Amino acid sequence: MSTNQTPYIGENSPLNRITTYFNALQSSAEEYLFVVDLDTNIFLLSDNFVKDFDFPANVVDDFDNLIMPFIHHDDREIFDKAMKDILSESKIKPITCEFRLLHSNGEYGWVNLNLMLGSDEYNQPLIFSGIIRRLDTPVKADNVTGLLKRNVFYADLQRELESHLNPHGAVMVIGLDNFNVITETYGHKFGDTAFRQIAQNITNVLPPDIRLYKLDGYMFGLFMPDAMPEEIEIIFASVQLCMREIRNVEDTIYCTASAGTAFYPSDANDVITLTRYAEVALEIARQKGRDQVAFFERETYDRWRYDIGMQNLMQNSIARGCEEFFLCYQPQVDAKDGRLLGAEALLRWYDQDGSVVAPMQFIPMLEKSRMIIPVGHWIIENAVITAKKWQKYMPDFQMSINISLYQLEERMFFPFVQDCLERHQIDPGTLTFELTESQRVYDWEFVNQQFSAFHDLGIKIAMDDFGTGYSTLGFLKNFNCDIIKIDKVFVDDILKSSFNKNLVKYTIMLCHSIGMEVCIEGVEEEDVYLYLRDECKADQIQGFYFGFPEREEVFERRLKNKS
């Protein structure tokens, strides 16, 4: 029978009797449906099938052949077999198979076909029906929380943005902090239950017309038309309360949430950018210490992007053997007579445009990303090579190298240093490691142990930035070091501040009494130098008054002229 003529279903055909049901069913189902009169082999297909697959007609009597060109070549046998199986008398169970169908957009998509036989009261097969489900369409709801997922969130937000002339409101993304630790500690089953409970609790505290969506991982999303920052803060405060309520049988589980918010139209007015900005704000809330909500700020975002860009560039630079890094050297002199003792190696980095970036801009990032480990090796290797070279001009030349606490935590650090000293045949007594302030240290015992090990090798240890951060008097009690370096902030106005005068003077006295030397940093003027020398009895001075950090070749000229 030709396809351009619709076959006649027949008045007494079972298809005729079920057409009404079929129509009702097809208008409410998302699947594609068909029924077949086994007597006439006429197929009745749902409208959505005809539309989505550009199928020739709703009623056909040659379905098997008509559908073949739509089925992927490799899957035709699978389909054929299923159609034969459903008709074989032994098969009374539904038949299921999967194959690829050619969609009207020209692409193949996987579908699942479910076939079922329908018999009359004498058990004679009359019809069979088929349900085709697309397997490539995204699932709309999350199966743990029951919340609608990101694709629906985007679609709903899009609709909201389009439904008003001047839409304004907020997009909020809520992320559970460290929830994976809970899953790892108590198992996935408990993790899922707790996550479902949190989702439910949050839903309950939201205004009734605000819907919660499940985004990727342990993240939720919502949007709130007309919301002002104060309302977002109130909502977040309720979310924080929800988080306090999750419990295990034995333990109270402590888990916090952070959130980020972007406003439309002020921050952006398209779905994707708004959501991304809210996620950026979430990241910022986490960086600020979690358990808080942050609002998107263009300035922070630009800085953040700059940092990420710089991080990538540094990563590439490290992969090329720390190519764009270099060391500058700043003189350290004997306070008594201004005689050169050595230098501190200070790291610099060339940005893409050739400009030199100062370490305060990138060291925290290197530490956070642990890139300080490979760069730290490079610094030591190069500072040692330079020191060895300069000891030709000045045999007791002292090289000070900054060591971040993160480097000490790396187990391979000590053997690396040992090997480096060996390879370059340098006297360890001519090296000083300056422990620079980094983020919080948890294992002081290990850090001290490491420093003792370096001490045993003969390397001197200096406590940097004394008077700030971790580097305090209390710390000296437990820490094994040879030199303390007093920070520039105490030196800047020393001649005007009697507090700073006394602090520096008595710290030096105290250090001398326990056998430590003191180096004063940031000395820029002669009268300050003279005060530190005569009144305070400082041991060493480092500051612009005696020299800026200089490039290797510039500093080298200084030594050559001396020798």
Residues lying near ligand C2E in the complex (CB under 6 A): 330, 345-347, 358-360, 363, 379, 402, 404, 434, 436, 464-465, 488, 521-524, 542-544, 549
Q: How far is the CB of 526 from ligand C2E (least distance, A)?
A: 12
Shortest Å distance, C-beta 438 to ligand C2E: 8
Q: Report the residue number, 108 or 350, with the smaller CB distance to ligand C2E.
A: 350
Stretch of 321-329, 427-435, 511-519, 523-531 lying at the interface with Ca ion (CB under 5 A): 427-435
Nearer to ligand C2E, 279 or 521 (CB): 521
Query: 212 in the Ramachandran plot: left (φ > 0), alpha (ψ -120 to 50) or beta?
Result: beta
Task: State the Cα–Cα distance between residues 361 and 367, nearest whole angstrom.
Answer: 12
Assign 274 to helix, strand or coil. Answer: helix
In terms of C-beta density within 10 A (0-12 exposed, 13-18 middle, 19 or more buried), how is residue 556 classed?
middle
* Backbone Cα Rg of the chain: 37
CB of 297 to ligand C2E, least distance (A): 27
Minimum CB–partner distance for residue 238 and Ca ion (Å) = 46
Q: Which of 63/466 has CB closer to ligand C2E?
A: 466
**Shortest Cβ distance from residue 351 to ligand C2E (Å)?**
15
Q: b/e per residue, 237-253, with b = 16+ CB within 10 A? A: eebbebbeebeeeeeeb
Answer with the entry of ligand C2E, Ca ion, none that 522 interacts with (C-beta below 5 to 8 A by kind): ligand C2E
Residues in binding contact with Ca ion, number by CB under 5 A:
5
Stretch of 53-61, 100-108, 303-311, 456-464 contacting Ca ion, by CB under 5 A: 456-464
In DSSP notation, 157-224 reads HHHHHHSSSS--EEEEEEEETTHHHHHHHH-HHHHHHHHHHHHHHHHHHS-TT---EE-STTEEEEEE
Stretch that binds Ca ion, among 8-16, 390-398, 428-436, 451-459 (CB under 5 A): 428-436
Using CB distances below 5 to 8 A depending on partner kind, what does residue 391 bind out of ligand C2E, Ca ion, none?
none
List the x/- string, 459-498, binding to Ca ion by CB under 5 A.
-----xx---------------------------------
CB–CB of 15/9 below 8 Å?
Answer: yes
Site of tokens 């999750």: 246
Stretch that binds Ca ion, among 6-14, 234-242, 405-413, 426-434 (CB under 5 A): 426-434
User: Using CA atoms, how far apart are residues 271 and 248, in angstroms rounded to an integer?
Assistant: 37
The single residue among 129, 386, 402, 507 that binds Ca ion, judged by CB under 5 A, is: 402
User: Is residue 451 a contact partner of residue 462, using CB atoms and an 8 Å limit?
Assistant: no
| Residue pair 280/296 in contact by the 8 Å Cβ criterion | yes
Partners of 252 in the β-ladder: 247
Query: C-beta of 144: minimal distance to Ca ion in Å?
Result: 51
Selected from 37, 267, 367, 434, the binder of Ca ion by CB under 5 A is 434
Q: How far apart, in Å, do the first and last CA atoms of the chain sit?
A: 107
Decide: 13 and 40 in contact? Cβ < 8 Å: yes
Give me the DSSP letters along 524-556.
Answer: -SHHHHHHHHHTS--SEEESTTT---EEHHHHH
Q: Considering the complex, state which of residue 267 and residue 521 has its C-beta at the smaller distance from Ca ion.
A: 521
Closer CB to ligand C2E, 267 or 521, in the complex: 521
178 burial type by CB count under 10 A (0-12 exposed, 13-18 middle, 19+ buried):
middle
Nearer to ligand C2E, 18 or 435 (CB): 435
CB of 244 to ligand C2E, least distance (A): 40
Point out which span in 100-108, 235-243, 331-339, 399-407 binds Ca ion (CB under 5 A).
399-407
Quote the tokens at residue 171: 């997009």
Closest approach of Ca ion to the CB of residue 406, in Å: 15
CA distance 379 to 360: 16
Closest distance of CB 348 from ligand C2E, Å: 7
Find the angle CA(338)-CA(522)-CA(371) to the nearest 5 degrees. 115
Q: Which is nearer to ligand C2E, 61 or 521 (CB)?
A: 521
Q: What is the dihedral of CA 243, 249, 252, 258, to 10 degrees?
A: -20
Single out the segment in contact with Ca ion by CB under 5 A; choices: 120-128, 204-212, 430-438, 512-520: 430-438
User: Which entry of Ca ion, ligand C2E, none binds 360, CB below 5 to 8 A by partner kind?
Assistant: ligand C2E
Least distance CB 339 / Ca ion (angstroms)? 20
Q: ∠ CA(305), CA(154), CA(209), 5° rounding?
A: 115
- Taking residues 519 to 538 in sequence order and writing x for each that binds Ca ion by CB under 5 A, - otherwise, the string is --x-----------------
Structure tokens at 85: 């199986």
Please, which residue, 324 or 464, has the CB nearer to Ca ion? Answer: 464
Q: Which does 524 bind (CB under 5 to 8 A by kind): ligand C2E, Ca ion, none?
A: ligand C2E
Q: Which does 404 bind (CB under 5 to 8 A by kind): Ca ion, ligand C2E, none?
A: ligand C2E
CB of 396 to ligand C2E, least distance (A): 22
- Do residues 33 and 6 touch, judged by C-beta distance below 8 A? no
C-beta of 132 vs 481, nearer to Ca ion: 481
3-state secondary structure of 57: coil
Q: Cβ 322 to ligand C2E, closest distance in Å?
A: 11
In the complex, the residues that contact Ca ion under the rule CB under 5 A are 402, 434, 464-465, 521
